[in-house]
Amino acid sequence: MKIKLFFLLSTIFFINLNAQSYIFGKVTTEDGSEMADVAVINIRTDEMVASNQDGHFMLSGRVGDELRFIKAGYERMMKKISKENIESPLNVSLARTTILIPEVEVKKGLTGNLRIDSKNLNKPKVEKLTKEIDRYIAQKSDPRILAARPGEFVQPKGQGFSIGKVKDRWDDTDLVTYLRTALGDEYFIHLKIEKPLIDHFIYYVLAGGFERKKILKYGFCSDADLYRFQRFVLTRISSYRAPQTQR
């Protein structure tokens, strides 16, 4: 009898421990403004939802689950679910991504103005400076000076103006490159898209009817376009994961 009672209590405890609940919450900025289209991912179940226009979200989970909050332009946040988060709404605040500006060192010396510098230098130095400037002006610019650094994103260039119909500044290839760079590979990896298939997935989303005429025409993708693309991804991810016969 005691063994049966112990087994029954153990079963009830196990069921309660693994019971699935729903987690409600709200995402805001540092100043308290509601944040829409924030991707909320349950790492254990791989379930992902997006916050609505008021910043609210809801997804299934339980105590001990880890939630990840992702939005372009903001720091990613991890939140481990406690019992209090199940019983009451979970409020999360995301901070904007910090952009580091290289420190500029100001050195005393030449101002770059020949008239001013010539007054502060003796005649031999002025003559040498004048010769150096003349030789520099006569030289052709080294293309490596204006070349992008390794890993630096370069805005795709258009073909310029031509007589007749004006061509788009971007094509789909340029847009795919920008979207992947702006969102980062980690965004797609969290969607269970393997790294070699990221470009293929983006093309698949675009082929699904994502409106991009103005983006291609002007060669510019705004934050609103980027958020619109993220929302469109949520409508295409399920069919992309489905077997080929079901698409």
Question: What share of residues in the chain are helix, strand, coil (percent, to 5)?
Answer: 45, 15, 40
Range of the structural domain that residue 135 is part of: 114-145
Residue 215: inside a domain: yes
pLDDT band at 12 (very low <50, low <70, confident <90, very high): very low
Cα–Cα distance measured from residue 33 to residue 19, given in angstroms and rounded to the nearest whole number: 33
Residue 9 confidence (pLDDT) above 80: no
Cα–Cα distance measured from residue 222 to residue 220, given in angstroms and rounded to the nearest whole number: 6
pLDDT digits (tens, 9 = 90+) for 116-129: 666 665 667 667 76
Residue 59: inside a domain: yes
Spatial CA neighbour of 39 closest among 87, 3, 72: 72
pLDDT band at 88 (very low <50, low <70, confident <90, very high): confident
Residue 246: inside a domain: no
What average pLDDT does the segment 76-89 reach? 88
Cα–Cα distance measured from residue 138 to residue 232, given in angstroms and rounded to the nearest whole number: 53
Residue 164: inside a domain: no
Q: Please state the domain count of the chain.
A: 3
Residue 159 confidence (pLDDT) above 70: no
| CA 213 to the chain's CA centroid | 22
Cα–Cα distance measured from residue 34 to residue 37, given in angstroms and rounded to the nearest whole number: 10
Residue 99 confidence (pLDDT) above 70: no
What average pLDDT does the segment 214-242 reach? 91
Cα–Cα distance measured from residue 181 to residue 192, given in angstroms and rounded to the nearest whole number: 18
One domain for residues 136 and 187: no
Residue 44: inside a domain: yes
Helix runs in 121-171, H state only: 123-138, 143-146
